[in-house]
């Protein structure tokens, strides 16, 4: 079985270095590691060209097409390379040494129960041991009208509906059947849409024994009221638009109304405190949500459909005048937590 790890990165070369270290020393080695560089401008390319890791291919996109486009490209490139499983993550994810092994163990356990998972998720924690990126449990009933999610709890596995791309293992058959994440969503919500698209028809599962640390740049839920980063404020219109789109596509009309009213309430609060820029971003997202009906794309479609060119290379060639930085110790710190410490109130050992 060929397993390809895919790491999406943009302007976080130090975190990427630590993520690559952790992925490259998995107890079950990856057969291939793909890095999708979303047109970074912080020296990421120079750093990557200095690597000596085996089985790594870098695909640098000619422009930043957002997280949605980057994940789309990553799944597409891995699938078209002939892989059997895609292990997808962002560049701020630090997997425990046996994270992949535990996902594959769960896959085998489910197979013994004649369950074919559409995807498998790791359990994500902050560096302080708090659970983050928790998926929504699949509460749909079995044939005697009881919720079926406890069926696999004896193995530390639970079925989910909505999930993120923080360490998700997606088999080839899922990609062939359900296509790719929607690139035009640009940022925020593409993982929710994609996993809901899949779990309408096939089960996904979270695996308690597969653990990762997610070193999120911004902790907590997305909140424009508290946001101070002007770039994130600007992108918030995508969040609003995508939230309404997902509600319209996968939930009842009442959910759409609640979503729209909630965003209107936020915009009015922003206006009341004189924050006209943020309020306009919210209103713009609501306006854009009306005609937003993006189509899905088959996984074997050419990457040129994304409107970018791709510069692909393997590590080994350096750029003159660049010196690699001293290695950070985040991976060692995370390994220490995973193997020896109780992080917060959660024992990860």
Task: Give residue-wise pLDDT tens across range 186-201.
Answer: 999 999 999 999 999 9
The mean per-residue pLDDT over the stretch 143-152 comes to 89
Q: pLDDT averaged over the chain? A: 91
Q: Global pTM?
A: 0.89
Using the Cα atoms of residue 15, residue 32, residue 194 and residue 80 in order, give the sign of their dihedral.
positive
**What is the distance between the alpha carbons of residues 241 and 91, in angstroms, rounded to a whole number?**
25
The mean per-residue pLDDT over the stretch 48-62 comes to 93
Q: Which band of pLDDT confidence, cut at 50, 70 and 90, is reported for residue 346? A: very low
The mean per-residue pLDDT over the stretch 322-342 comes to 45
| Cα→Cα distances 249→181, 187, 195, Å | 14, 18, 13
Task: Match domain 3-220+296-347 to its CATH number in 3.30.1330.30, 3.90.550.60, 3.30.530.20, 3.40.50.920.
Answer: 3.90.550.60
What is the domain partition of the chain in residue ranges?
Answer: 3-220+296-347, 230-289
Of 19, 27, 85, nearest in space to 56 by CA: 19
Could you report the per-residue pLDDT of 157-183, keeping only the tens digit for each? 999 999 999 999 999 999 999 999 999
Of 236, 65, 71, 260, nearest in space to 170 by CA: 71
Residue found under tokens 């009208």? 145
**What is the distance between the alpha carbons of residues 78 and 59, in angstroms, rounded to a whole number?**
11
């Amino acid at each position: 079985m060929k397993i390809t790890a895919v790491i999406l990165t943009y302007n976080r070369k130090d975190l990427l270095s630590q993520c690559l270290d952790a992925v490259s020393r998995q107890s079950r080695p990856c057969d291939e590691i793909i890095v999708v560089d979303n047109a970074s401008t912080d020296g990421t390319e120079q750093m990557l060209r200095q690597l000596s890791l085996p089985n790594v291919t870098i695909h640098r996109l000619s422009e930043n097409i957002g997280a949605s486009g980057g994940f789309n490209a990553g799944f597409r490139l891995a699938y078209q390379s002939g892989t059997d499983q895609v292990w997808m993550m962002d560049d701020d994810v630090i997997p425990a040494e046996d994270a992949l092994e535990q996902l594959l163990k769960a896959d085998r356990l489910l197979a013994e129960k004649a369950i074919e998972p559409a995807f498998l998720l790791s359990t994500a924690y902050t560096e302080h041991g708090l659970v983050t990126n928790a998926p929504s449990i699949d509460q749909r009933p079995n044939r005697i009208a009881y919720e079926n999610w406890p069926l696999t709890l004896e193995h530390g596995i639970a079925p989910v509906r909505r999930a993120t791309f923080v360490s998700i293992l997606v088999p080839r058959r899922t990609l062939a059947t359900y296509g790719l994440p929607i690139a035009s969503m640009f940022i925020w919500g593409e993982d929710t849409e994609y996993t809901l698209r899949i779990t309408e028809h096939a089960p996904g599962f979270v695996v308690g024994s597969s653990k990762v640390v997610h070193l999120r740049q911004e902790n907590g839920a997305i909140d424009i009221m508290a946001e101070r980063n002007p770039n994130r404020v600007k992108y918030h219109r995508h969040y609003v638009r995508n939230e309404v789109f997902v509600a319209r596509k996968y939930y009842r009309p009442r959910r759409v109304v609640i979503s729209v009213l909630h965003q209107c309430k936020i915009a009015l609060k922003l206006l009341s405190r004189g924050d006209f820029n943020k309020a306009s971003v919210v209103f713009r997202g609501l306006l854009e949500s009306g005609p937003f009906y993006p189509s899905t794309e088959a996984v074997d479609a050419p990457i040129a459909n994304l409107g970018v060119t791709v510069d692909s290379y393997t590590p080994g060639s350096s750029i003159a005048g660049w010196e690699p930085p001293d290695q950070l110790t985040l991976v060692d710190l995370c390994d220490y937590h995973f193997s020896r410490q109780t992080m917060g109130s959660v024992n990860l050992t």
